[in-house]
Amino acid sequence: MLQLSNFPFNTLKSAPKVSDNRSTSLLLQGGYIRQAMAGAYEFLPIWFRVLRNIEQVIREEMDNAGYHEMLMTILTPREYWETTGRWDIPEYFKVPGHGTTEYRIAPTNEENVTPILWEFIQSYKDLPCCVYHIQKKFRNEKRAKSGLLRGREFIMKDAYSFHTDIKDFEVFYEDIKDVYMRVFTRLWLGDDTVIADADGGAISDKNSHEFQTFLEVGEDIIVQDSSWYSYNLELASWIPDDKNVWEETQKMQYIDSVPEIVNMEKMTKYFKSPDWQMLKTVIYKLENSDAYIWVVLRGDLDINEIKLWKFVRWKYDDTFVLASEEDLEKIWTVRGFISPLKDSHLKVDFYWDNSLKTVKNFFWWANALAKSTKNVNISDLNIIEFGDFNEPKAWFTSCNVEWEKLTFRKASEVGNIFHLWTKYSKPFGLSYLDENNKMVQDVEMWCYGIGVSRLMGVMAEYFMTDSWIMWPETVAPYSYYIIVMWEDTIKQAKDLASELEKSGESVILDDRMGRKDGFGQKAGDCELWGIPNRIVISPKTLELWGYELTKRGQESEIIKL
């Protein structure tokens, strides 16, 4: 049992304002955590027990599914990362060793697990297999914020599976999804957690699946419709809304304007027309060549650079940066008045967003200062290819359900699944003998993550009230909180705590005595720590030959000792 009379950690009278989410303040008030620096927190005893309880739920479900727990190193050799071409990723920490030796502090463990399994996977009979571990990770986040929801140091459960082919994985994947959803259901998050398609980021060239829990302070936006379509905003697509499709097409005209109309807000005021009737243009330079690409979309929309990044990778096998003023001079145009009209003769590859197909008679610029155009139409434009380059808006229509508008909800990622293909297995030479004793070089690989410390932060935010956190019983730091109101009753309280512990329960014994340790302080700490069962032992309850038990959400009752 935990006796608070010799517990050095205490709660605060009020919640300090230190983050953009309320739960971090409650966690500081409750003595759960202390901040070491931006993005890194110390886990104090109460919070550490919550962590261990969450880890236990995850372990039980992973082990029951037949996956194997191990523990890999945090410090990893440089040559592993050079083998896969990921040594120079800036978000991943490097540390020096003796002489010229360098190491990486592992942000993820594909580079560890693949060489390990290279030794043990020999035959098709060894596949599929799945290993996992729970470990601290480190990433050099540019903006560590939102408390535990985005940190530079965090705890991750990551798993890796190996397969003979995609079909083998597809069967395996259904089990993984069930395992994850059982974890979130046991943590009381299941009803508000969905699987959403998302970008693979630095881990994979392919899309990933994210397990997203709806949360008002979440950093992600999940786009949905009634068909159970769920996408992260970064990948969501839809049908653009019709605008003036029935309007008669007018002939394009060059007109004089003013130098100041260099953005959408100023254009709409100057031309006295809605922003959807303006054209927005952005020029990017390909990083590994002298080529430029030009992306055009409606003025009321924004470019989704993740969609564009995937397109450029497919089209050019390259990446891009925003064109500089010097770049614009090279291609004979002016920022704020860029316009790829057919007669502009600009040496740029032009790409057009699908939203432009439903609008006529645009206003636009004309590649010279204070020169504009009106009544611009598709026929006036130098079009190479249409594509989906815009970011979703709430008024657009679902691709899956006719006439239905999409819904947008904030969420926080609590788990993910990446298809790694042979991105890591092939560089390390992972292979196996098939049924015909033939060597096969292609081993399909997948990884699966649950951000344990982020999940804790999500749960704190999800289950908080105005003044305390209502932890699910599966993860609450203790199951019983015994309040002792008189020194003469401490022996009875200890005896009761021992009996509860013999039955498998965990107990806090609040045996603090002093002017500041009245019933209000003790009851407040019980709530702040989210203990589901409160017991009060006092001379009054002993007169009734028992103790007062209050279960969360129920009326108090006297239980005989």
pLDDT digits (tens, 9 = 90+) for 442-457: 999 999 999 999 999 9
Q: What is the DSSP letter of 235?
A: T
Please give the Cα distance from 478 to 476 (Å, whole number).
5
Beta strand pairing call for 507-510 and 480-484: parallel
CA distance 346 to 331: 6
Q: Give the per-residue pLDDT at 232.
A: 85
Model confidence at 479, pLDDT cuts 50, 70, 90, reads very high
| Residue ranges of the chain assigned to CATH 3.40.50.800 | 478-560
Please check whether residue 482 is in contact with residue 493, taking contact to mean a CB–CB distance below 8 angstroms: yes
Where residue 203 falls among pLDDT bands split at 50, 70, 90?
Answer: very low
Contact yes or no for 454/220 (Cβ under 8 A): no
Write down the architecture of domain 478-560 according to CATH. Answer: 3-Layer(aba) Sandwich (3.40)
Query: Under 8 Å CB-to-CB from 37, ≥6 apart: which residues?
Result: none
Q: How far is CA 289 from the centre of its chain?
A: 33
User: Looking at this protein, which amino acid is placed at residue 267?
Assistant: M
Of 543 and 335, the structure prediction assigns the larger pLDDT to 543
Per residue in 104-119, pLDDT (tens digit) is 998 999 999 999 999 9
Q: Is the pTM of this model over 0.85?
A: no
Whole-angstrom distance, CA of residue 531 vs CA of residue 477? 7
Task: Give Cβ neighbours of residue 435 (< 8 Å, ≥ 6 apart).
Answer: 124
Query: How far is Cα 522 from Cα 482, in angstroms, rounded to an integer?
Result: 9
pLDDT digits (tens, 9 = 90+) for 426-441: 999 999 999 999 999 9
Is 338's pLDDT higher than 80?
Answer: no
Local confidence band at 146 (pLDDT 50, 70, 90 cut-offs): low
**Whether the predicted pLDDT of 148 surpasses 80:** no
CATH C-level class of 22-213+414-454: alpha beta
Length of the chain: 561
Question: Residue range 406-432: average pLDDT?
Answer: 91
Q: Is the pLDDT of residue 461 over 80?
A: yes
CB contact burial 456-472 (16+ within 10 A = b; e otherwise): bbbbbbbbbeeebbbbb
For strands 407-421 and 220-224, give the pairing. antiparallel
Give the residue among 18, 15, 46 at the shortest CA–CA distance from 478.
46
Give the pLDDT of residue 5: 92
Q: For 370-389, what is the mean pLDDT?
A: 84
Cα separations in angstroms, 361 against 244, 373, 389: 9, 10, 21
- Residue 82 pLDDT level (bands cut at 50, 70, 90): very high
pLDDT mean across residues, the chain: 87
Using CB atoms within 10 Å of the CB of residue 502, give its burial: 0 to 12 exposed, 13 to 18 middle, 19+ buried.
Answer: exposed
Q: Residue 363's pLDDT is what?
A: 85
Between 452-463 and 22-29, two packed helices, what is the crossing angle to 10 degrees? 100
Asked whether the predicted pLDDT for residue 425 surpasses 60, the reply is yes
Q: Contact at 8 Å (CB) between 140 and 90? A: yes
pLDDT of residue 336: 54
Residues 278, 263: Cα–Cα separation, whole Å:
10
Residue 211, Cβ density class (10 Å: 0-12 exposed, 13-18 middle, ≥19 buried): buried
Condensed to tens digits (0 to 9), the pLDDT of residues 261-280 reads 778 888 888 889 998 888 88
CATH 3.30.930.10, the chain: domain bounds: 22-213+414-454
What type of residue is 284?
Answer: Y
Biggest alpha carbon–alpha carbon distance for the chain: 97
Residues in CB range of 410: below 8 A, 6 or more apart:
214, 215, 216, 217, 218, 219, 220, 221, 222
**Does residue 145 carry a pLDDT above 70?**
no
Kind and range of the H or E run holding 42: strand 40-43
Q: What is the pLDDT of residue 90?
A: 83
Return the residue matching tokens 């006295």. Answer: 272
The CATH architecture that domain 253-387 belongs to is Alpha-Beta Complex (3.90)
The percentage of the chain sitting over the pLDDT mark of 70, rounded to a whole number, equals 94
The β-bridge partners of 153 are 138
Average pLDDT (548-558) is 89
Asked if residues 415 and 211 have their Cβ atoms less than 8 Å apart, the reply is yes
